[in-house]
Each structure stands twice: as C-alpha cells, then as structure tokens.
C-alpha cells in the first residue's frame, strides 16, 4: 500500500512583507518621546556702577526656545545703549538703583532684578 503524502500547510507572505521583515521594519511601532521645552531662565544678572552716574549690566539667559526678546527697565535710570544680554545706562549718583531684565520667548517670560548704589 502506497502512502499518500499529507499536504503541508503553507503560509503565503507577500514578497514586500518578507523584505520589510528582513529589515526589521515590521517590528513593534516606534514611539517618539516628546520632551517639553525647558523653561526660559535668567541665570545671572550683574550690574556695576562705573562712576560719574553711569553703570553697566550683563545677563546670562539659558534654555527656552526660539528668539529671545529683551526689555531693560529700572528705577531712576536711562538706558543709553543695549545689546540683547547687556546694557549701559545713566543713574543718579548716590541713590540706590534697581535694574530689571525681562526676557520672553515662545515658552514664556523670565524676569530678574539687580540692585546697586549709583556712583
């Protein structure tokens, strides 16, 4: 008595799937981790009285995103010249002076103040 072969079951997989499988492209879906933007920070603000009713300030701004917008203000001061992270001003000699830097970007606003006696 001759044996009749038992048909084998075959799984048909399209050729494109085989190629993608070989490349690892059909693995579990990748998940991107989106990290929130780091908050804008003014890490340092230093102002120095230069004598003759003038002073200068400099700042270190860190983190945040995008373009920064700097605004220098203060009590009894006149801003003579400013760069984004530094400024030169006039103050009234002998008086306590406070300078405030406000920086804004697409993540928010940070503010820091420095006080000194104008000379």
Classify 15 as helix, strand or coil. helix
pLDDT for 38 equals: 86
For residue range 102-111, what is the model confidence (pLDDT) as tens digits? 999 998 999 9
Contact 92, 75 (CB under 8 A): no
Query: Is residue 92 pLDDT above 50, yes or no?
Result: yes
- Note the pLDDT of residue 107: 86
SS (H, E, C) 32-101: CCCCCCCCCEEEEEEEEEEECCEEEEEEEEECCCCCCEEEEEECCEEEEEEECCEEEEEECCCCEEEEEE
pLDDT in tens, 36-85: 668 999 999 999 999 999 999 999 999 988 789 999 999 889 999 999 99
Which architecture does CATH list for 41-117?
A: Sandwich (2.60)
**Domain layout of the chain by residue ranges:** 41-117
């Amino acid at each position: 008595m001759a044996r009749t072969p038992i048909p084998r079951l075959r799984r048909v997989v399209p050729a494109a799937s085989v190629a993608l499988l070989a490349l690892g492209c059909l693995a579990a879906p990748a998940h991107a981790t989106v990290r929130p933007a780091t908050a804008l920070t003014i890490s340092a603000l230093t102002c120095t009285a230069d004598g003759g009713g003038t002073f200068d300030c400099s700042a270190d701004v860190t983190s945040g995103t995008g373009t920064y917008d700097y605004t220098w203000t203060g009590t009894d001061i006149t801003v003579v010249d400013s760069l984004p992270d530094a400024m030169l001003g006039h103050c009234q000699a002998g008086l306590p002076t406070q300078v405030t830097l406000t920086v804004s970007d697409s993540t928010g606003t940070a503010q820091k103040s420095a006080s000194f006696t104008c000379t």
